[in-house]
Amino acid sequence: MGMVSVGMSMTQPIMQLVSKELGVKVVLSGARLGFYAGLVEGVATMLASFYKIAQGKNTRSAYWSMASGLATVVAGGASLGLTVAVTSAAAGAGTVAAFGISMGPVGWTLLLVAALGVAIWTAVNAAGTDESSRLPVEYWLDNGVFGKRALLSNSQSNPFATKAAGSQKGAPAVPFASLDAELLGLERILLVASGYLMPGAMGGGYAYIHFHIAVPRYAATSRIQVVFFRNERAGPNTFRQLTAAREAKQPVVVDSPSFVPAPSFRSMDMQVDSSSKSVKISGQFQVFAGQGGFYCMKVQYWPDEVQRPGLETGFESWVYI
């Protein structure tokens, strides 16, 4: 509504500052540009929706997105029609025909507001039904005692479902059988290790790789294990392992240079937050540029090996040199 009001308010000043013919051309050019932008965005949204439907992925979200794209195109046309109607009204005409529809400024305004409302409403519904945008806690609530159990079959995004890997087939999530299992599931999605490997600068025949690891809870019963390796045809070729446990301020380092020249660690720092009990481990290492390939980091994190020995989270990250 604010955009419509500004557009209608600016039409008269523009036509007063310049000649009438030039003012009409400027306003109509801007309106056509807005229409083309809305047309491109709407068509792109609909094409992406058709592609999702053809793949059979998130079909509910795709149909909502298609409706949103169509409403966006209609809103762009209504915006152009409104501008033409306003400029014609300023010139003394009562109604104007655009796209074969004859209406005055009020009619075009109502059509524009309605189209924008539909576009926003359908876009919100598309986001709400998009399985890839759901949070882990949404799956936990759905899988719990009071959940609807409507998302159990989503084995790709559901953190409690069995993922397909190699010869292993994916399987739907199993509802929590007890309160302890439900609490364990909540801890599994909250106490998660995160981080990454990132390529840095290259120089002097070496490539630099940065790494960062963060865990939300580090106590006397916690353990963090990090393995750095080069992925080769024969399998992982490990060149360094880090282990932090029992509230140690720095990790135990075990180097195993299995190829020459071995990667050299230029820096490494472990920071323990005394208030939140979280930990950050970061640093960088250099590798000989002539030994290109996949350099990887595997992180395993046990928040509480005593009370929750089966609770383990982790990730793998890699860079290609």
Sheet strand arrangement including 264-272: 194-203, 206-215, 279-288, 264-272
How many DSSP H helices and E strands does the chain contain? Answer: 6, 11
3-state secondary structure of 92: coil
Residues 6+ apart with CB under 8 A from 5: none
With 0-12 / 13-18 / 19 or more C-beta atoms within 10 angstroms meaning exposed / middle / buried, residue 109 is: buried
Give the predicted TM-score (pTM) of the model: 0.59
- Report the amino acid identity of residue 104: G
Please count the other Cβ atoms lying within 10 Å of the Cβ belonging to residue 310: 8
What is the residue extent of each domain of the chain? 2-132, 134-189, 192-320
Q: Is residue 185 a contact partner of residue 160, using CB atoms and an 8 Å limit? A: yes
Tell me the pLDDT tens digit for each residue of 164-215: 766 777 788 888 888 888 888 888 888 999 999 999 998 889 999 999 999 9
- Report the amino acid identity of residue 116: L
- Which phi and psi angles does 284 have, rounded to 5°? -150, 155
What does the pLDDT read at residue 290?
Answer: 85
Please count the other Cβ atoms lying within 10 Å of the Cβ belonging to residue 52: 19
User: How many whole angstroms separate alpha carbon 144 and alpha carbon 237?
Assistant: 41
What does the pLDDT read at residue 155?
Answer: 66
Architecture of the structural domain at 192-320 = Sandwich (2.60)
Q: Mark the ranges of the chain whose per-residue pLDDT is less than 50.
A: 1-8, 14, 17-19
> Checking DSSP bridges between strand 313-320 and strand 235-245, what pairing results, if any?
unpaired
What does the pLDDT read at residue 3?
Answer: 44
- Which phi and psi angles does 21 have, rounded to 5°? -65, -45
